[in-house]
Structure 1
Amino acid sequence: MTSKEQKIQNFDPNGVGDSSGNLFGLPFTVEESEVVIIPMPWEVTVSYSAGTAQGPQAIKDASPQLDLFEPGIKDAWKLGVAMEDVSMEWAATSEALRDKAEAYINWLEAGSPEVGRGEFEHLPAEVTAKGEELLAWLNQKSLAYLEQGKLVGVLGGDHSTPLGLMHALAEKHEEFGILQVDAHADLRDAYEGFEFSHASIMFNALKLPQVKKLVQVGIRDICQAEAELAEQSNGRVTIFYDATLKENLYAGDSWKKECKKIIAQLPQKVYISFDIDGLDPKLCPATGTPVPGGLEFEQAVYLIKQLVKSGREIIGFDLCEVAPGESEWNGNVGARLLMKLVNWMAVSQQRLEAQF
């Protein structure tokens, strides 16, 4: 009997959540797990409110509160999921650079006066260099797990963080699509001078030729250049604006019908990029750039389930922009969404058995 089998035999899924365990109070190590979550405590380029660098730990801390039964999925907890320890080195680097970046952003917002130009003109290059290091680090780490046959998810941190996982998946798959749930399009070219800005993640993802399609859902805060990029993409980028989705629902369409439209735009292999601000901000009040509107929690989960029901394969995911706030609410919602992403990715890969 393997160590994992012994743990499954001895673990009580109906017991009190063990805060000393791994994610969701489960007993599994990274080595024993089929799904590995890589935490990314990084928020250097956040342009409104900070805090998301503490998101991974906040989600882990809240996760033992969750019950483990997943309706429709047999013995989901036995899959084996674990999160790596949060890198204190990257957290410290993020904090140090964030202080500089915040001063730089304030300088930009003041009209880039001559006073301070010497101090700030080289900062974007410094931040970009560290962003390249972070990308390479995550790419290498993700590839190592993928080579072991594990499934990988990234837990941000700001939305710039998962690019390294996307690069790793591009090395493993000839083509795939991205399903992005977000309030923002994140299609800006080096926003505020930062090549690896949280507002530029999808602009950067589109540089990967393996990304054949980007489908954005819940968008409700977007600049003209981003909208034009999508319109001029020859169908490579499709935006489902939050307002349009809501208008269709108000006119009598079902959410199932809207989900079918969304999923029809995606290829067989799909990466899910989930910014928590894609949800209604009552579910994520501490997130860095909240916007009124958005999806309800169960709407988002239904979309993911319908994606899997369609026969498509989820090859990886990220969950970003969760910030702790004054209570555990943000981490609690983030943990619940993380569990859904893990379980339904596993179902899509036939690692778990589900009934629809």
Structure 2
Amino acid sequence: MSAMTPPSMPMLGSTDLDTFMGVRQAKISDALDCDIAIFGAPCATPYGGAPEYGAANLAAPQALREGIKMWASANDRFDWDLGERPLVGRDDRVVDLGDLATHPATPAENRGLIKSTVDRIIAAGAVPFALGGDDSIPIPMLGSLKAKEEVHVLQIDAHIDWRDHVGGERYGLSSVMRRASEMSWVKGIVQVGARGLSSAGFEEIDIARKWGADLFPAQHIFDHGIDDVVRAVPKGANVHVNLDLDALDPSIMPAVFVPAPGGLLYWHVAKLLMAVAEKASICSFALVEFAPSRDINGTAALTAARIASLAMGSILKSRYVGK
């Protein structure tokens, strides 16, 4: 053993803690005192005719925690991407509530549990941050945001999710933005990253545009960067971020159920989240669609978890740094 590496010194920032980035553990029944409350949501409303969609994501929350575990005690280090410490030295203001007891066979109960959890987090003045799980999870989360009175949605996704139903199911992953558009407190929807063959048809795209959604396909980002997207988010607005990991290119994010070539890269998403956190108020965040069985060597989990960490750091930076 080298004298420079004593036995008690962990390599990198590794830790035995099972929470995301080693933050303190809490229970939803606790009197929450935090700025960000993380919770795992393995599923919400999987499609009954395609159970493999829901099953692919069930282990996602813990896989994402494991993905960044090597840096979980490094909150005193310098994060070059954020330009600060990973959680700006305020990791005491972040808690991990663990995973909700959702089950693919109980979609209505899942939605109720997610909504009641987010209700409690918002009532405590904190930002709910979901690790998931299929992309139907944001529907009940958005329901809780009625408490904010006015909300704008930033969806980063390869698909626009405006289908009214799939096989009669109105609360599945293909209908998230359609359900959001029906909530009177949702005042705007900005959608980034659509590409490839669409689950939506001409009718859904037309409905989205007539509603007023701002659509920025992935090709627009590659041609023009993120500035137009940032301009579309109103200054000071409450923003729910819906990050479906299939928005990222499969070269860096193979661990999704429907990969599509030509996706966004790490810096597109990182710079977009940092800019939105600086311009507006991220009041809710859902990171979804991680499929652990398709993670080739763990780098997809690390990439997704780094983006989550960067988002949390950006929220805290907007609250504490320079104030």
- For Structure 1 versus Structure 2, the TM-score category normalised by the shorter chain is 0.7 to 0.9
Deviations 1:282-315 (A, max 9, x none): 2221201111111110111111112233x31111
Instruction: Please say which structure displays the higher CA radius of gyration.
Output: 1
Q: What is the aligned partner in structure 1 of residue 227 from structure 2? A: 260
Do the aligned residues in 1 keep the contact of 2:38 with 2:96 (CA within 8 Å)? yes
Deviates more, 1:287-296 or 1:73-82: 73-82
Q: What is the aligned partner in structure 1 of residue 121 from structure 2? A: 145
Kindly provide the amino acid, as one letter, of the partner of residue 177 in structure 1.
H
Do the aligned residues in 1 keep the contact of 2:58 with 2:133 (CA within 8 Å)? yes
Residue among 80, 84, 96 paired with 1:83? 96
Q: What is the aligned partner in structure 2 of residue 23 from structure 1? A: 20
**Matching of residue 231 in structure 1 with residue 209 in structure 2:** yes
Deviates more, 1:135-144 or 1:62-71: 62-71
Deviation (angstroms), 1:42: 1.2
Q: What is the aligned partner in structure 2 of residue 105 from structure 1? A: none
Deviation (angstroms), 1:194: 1.5
Do the aligned residues in 1 keep the contact of 2:25 with 2:97 (CA within 8 Å)? no
Kindly provide the amino acid, as one letter, of the partner of residue 277 in structure 1.
D
Kindly provide the amino acid, as one letter, of the partner of residue 327 in structure 1.
N
Alpha-carbon distance in 1 for matches of 2:243, 2:39: 15
Which secondary structure state, in structure 2, belongs to the residue aligned with residue 333 of structure 1?
helix
The within-5 A match list for 1:73-222 is: 73=84, 76-80=88-92, 81-87=94-100, 89-90=101-102, 93-94=103-104, 97=105, 130-170=106-146, 172-220=147-195, 221-222=197-198
The within-5 A match list for 1:253-292 is: 255=225, 259-267=226-234, 268-292=237-261
Which secondary structure state, in structure 1, belongs to the residue aligned with residue 239 of structure 2?
strand
Q: 1:133 to 1:245 in 2, by over 3 A?
A: same
Kindly provide the amino acid, as one letter, of the partner of residue 135 in structure 1.
R
Deviation (angstroms), 1:47: 7.5
Deviation (angstroms), 1:77: 4.3
Which secondary structure state, in structure 1, belongs to the residue aligned with residue 227 of structure 2?
helix
Residue among 211, 214, 219 paired with 1:243? 219
Alpha-carbon distance in 2 for matches of 1:77, 1:291: 37
Alpha-carbon distance in 2 for matches of 1:210, 1:271: 12
Do the aligned residues in 2 keep the contact of 1:48 with 1:289 (CA within 8 Å)? no
Q: Which has the higher helix share?
A: 1
Q: What is the aligned partner in structure 2 of residue 5 from structure 1? A: none
Alpha-carbon distance in 2 for matches of 1:153, 1:230: 26
Unaligned residue ranges in structure 2 (runs of 5+): 1-8
Which secondary structure state, in structure 2, belongs to the residue aligned with residue 272 of structure 1?
strand
Alpha-carbon distance in 2 for matches of 1:142, 1:16: 30
Alpha-carbon distance in 1 for matches of 2:303, 2:33: 26
Deviations 1:203-257 (A, max 9, x none): 1111111111111001114322221112322xx21110112333x34xxxxx2xx
Identity, in percent, stands at 23
Deviations 1:129-186 (A, max 9, x none): x43332222111111122122221111111001222211112x212111010000001
Alpha-carbon distance in 2 for matches of 1:138, 1:296: 30
Alpha-carbon distance in 2 for matches of 1:243, 1:162: 25
Alpha-carbon distance in 2 for matches of 1:142, 1:212: 20
Deviations 1:47-103 (A, max 9, x none): 87551121111001122123443342356243332322223x42xx31xx3xxxxxx
Alpha-carbon distance in 2 for matches of 1:315, 1:242: 25
Alpha-carbon distance in 1 for matches of 2:89, 2:291: 26
Q: 1:354 to 1:48 in 2, by over 3 A?
A: farther
Alpha-carbon distance in 1 for matches of 2:283, 2:35: 13
Do the aligned residues in 2 keep the contact of 1:323 with 1:330 (CA within 8 Å)? no
TM-score (norm 1): 0.75
Deviation (angstroms), 1:14: 8.6
Q: How many residues of Structure 1 are paired with residues of Structure 2 in the alignment?
A: 292
TM-score (norm 2): 0.82
Which secondary structure state, in structure 2, belongs to the residue aligned with residue 177 of structure 1?
strand
Residue among 48, 57, 64 paired with 2:69? 64
Which secondary structure state, in structure 2, belongs to the residue aligned with residue 152 of structure 1?
strand
The within-5 A match list for 1:323-342 is: 323-324=291-292, 325=294, 326-342=296-312
Aligned structure 1 segments of 4 or more residues deviating by more than 3 angstroms? 12-16, 26-33, 46-50
**Matching of residue 314 in structure 1 with residue 282 in structure 2:** yes
Deviation (angstroms), 1:15: 6.0
Alpha-carbon distance in 2 for matches of 1:162, 1:204: 10
